[in-house]
């Protein structure tokens, strides 16, 4: 039985003060509840502040991106080791805003995933199709390519430290959520692909989050689907009451 995992991607929102307050409220409300895994992923500058707020709490800390090198002359970049050092357990890799807004390719994302895992981070690896790709019936082909290339060279053991997030790009920040049928079909396809790339045991073990306009009123329906193991939440993760309602929906 895979535990549900709800992660909040705060993107480039919050201040030091609001980040601390949001993390504190979420962590205090969870009261160490172990029925669901919860993580928050603040902007880089607030990772330390939020790490302190989460100290001793069950809510985990994630970052939204990383470089693939350990260190070096990479102005403006942050290494996986630095993220570990500041207290991160997770890093999001391959978010569509990185893929499509910053031109990050499957090969680059593969290097980032390998570097993050080598540094001891767990990875939330995002995949998902554009609207035009869905309309052209290319969803499975896109997911297939993103998974084959993005996970290339990762071992079955390493996949125990990888969470996948299916995030149809047309549903991110748009208020257009995938239907339960669309979400379940994509998640089942992804799990089948994992079985092909690895084995049935690995496929059964990997958590697959859904992301794309998850809100309090649609979360329960999505997370009750057999292959949906939680949510990667953008906009609704910025309001403690909305995020906690999604977390509660994951508990069921
Ligand atoms: C996201 O940023 O990963 C996301 C799913 O955003 P939203 O929930 O706002 O659609």
- In tens, the pLDDT along 136-149 reads 999 999 999 999 99
Indicate whether residue 128 lines ligand 1 (CB < 6 A): no
Say whether pLDDT at 197 is over 90.
yes
pLDDT, tens only, 115-133: 999 999 999 999 999 999 9
The rounded Å distance from CA 154 to ligand 1 centre is: 26
Indicate whether residue 232 lines ligand 1 (CB < 6 A): yes
What is the band of 230 on the pLDDT scale with cuts at 50, 70, 90?
very high
pLDDT at 80: 98
Residues 112-124, buried b or exposed e (16+ Cβ, 10 A)?
Answer: bbbbbbebebbbb
Whether the Cβ atoms of residue 46 and residue 20 lie closer than 8 Å to each other: yes
Residue 129 among the catalytic residues = no
CA distances from 135 to 118, 147, 170, 222 (A): 38, 20, 11, 22
Indicate whether residue 176 lines ligand 1 (CB < 6 A): no
The three-state DSSP-derived secondary structure of 102-170 is: CCCCHHHHHHHHHHHHHCCCEEEEEECCCHHHHHCCCHHHHHHHHHHHHCCCCCCCHHHHEEEEECCHH
pLDDT at 181: 97
User: Out of 97, 104, 133, 167, which one is annotated catalytic?
Assistant: 167
The rounded Å distance from CA 95 to ligand 1 centre is: 9
pLDDT at 234: 98
Whether the Cβ atoms of residue 169 and residue 126 lie closer than 8 Å to each other: no
* pTM of this structure: 0.98
Q: Higher model confidence: residue 158 or residue 33?
A: 158
The rounded Å distance from CA 212 to ligand 1 centre is: 5
Task: Give the span between the Cα atoms of 215 and 45, in whole angstroms.
Answer: 27
The half-sphere exposure of 19 on its side-chain side, counting CA atoms within 13 A, is 23
Residue 187 among the catalytic residues = no
What is the band of 83 on the pLDDT scale with cuts at 50, 70, 90?
very high
Indicate whether residue 230 lines ligand 1 (CB < 6 A): no
pLDDT at 31: 85
């Amino acid at each position: 039985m895979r535990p549900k995992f709800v992660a909040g991607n705060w993107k480039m929102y919050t201040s030091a003060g609001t980040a601390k307050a949001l993390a504190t409220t979420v962590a205090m409300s969870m009261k160490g509840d172990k029925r669901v895994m919860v993580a928050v992923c603040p902007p880089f500058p607030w990772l330390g502040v939020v790490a302190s707020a989460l100290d001793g709490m069950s809510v985990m800390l994630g970052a939204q991106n990383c470089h693939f090198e350990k260190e070096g002359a990479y102005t403006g970049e942050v290494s996986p080791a630095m993220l570990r050092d500041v207290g991160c357990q997770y890093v999001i890799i391959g978010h569509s805003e990185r893929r499509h807004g910053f031109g990050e390719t499957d090969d680059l994302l593969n290097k980032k995933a390998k570097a993050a895992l080598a540094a001891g981070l767990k990875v939330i690896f995002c995949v998902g199709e554009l609207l035009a790709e869905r309309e052209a019936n290319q969803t499975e082909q896109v997911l297939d390519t993103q998974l084959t290339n993005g996970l290339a060279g990762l071992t079955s053991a390493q996949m125990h430290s990888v969470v996948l997030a299916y995030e149809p790009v047309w549903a991110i920040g748009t208020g257009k959520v995938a239907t339960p049928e669309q979400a379940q079909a994509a998640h089942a396809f992804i799990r089948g692909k994992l079985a092909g790339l690895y084995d049935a045991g690995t496929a059964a073990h990997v958590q697959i989050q859904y992301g794309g306009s998850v809100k309090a009123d649609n979360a329960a329906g999505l997370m009750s689907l057999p292959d949906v193991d939680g949510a990667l939440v953008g906009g609704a993760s910025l309001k403690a009451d909305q995020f906690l309602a999604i977390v509660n929906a994951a508990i069921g």
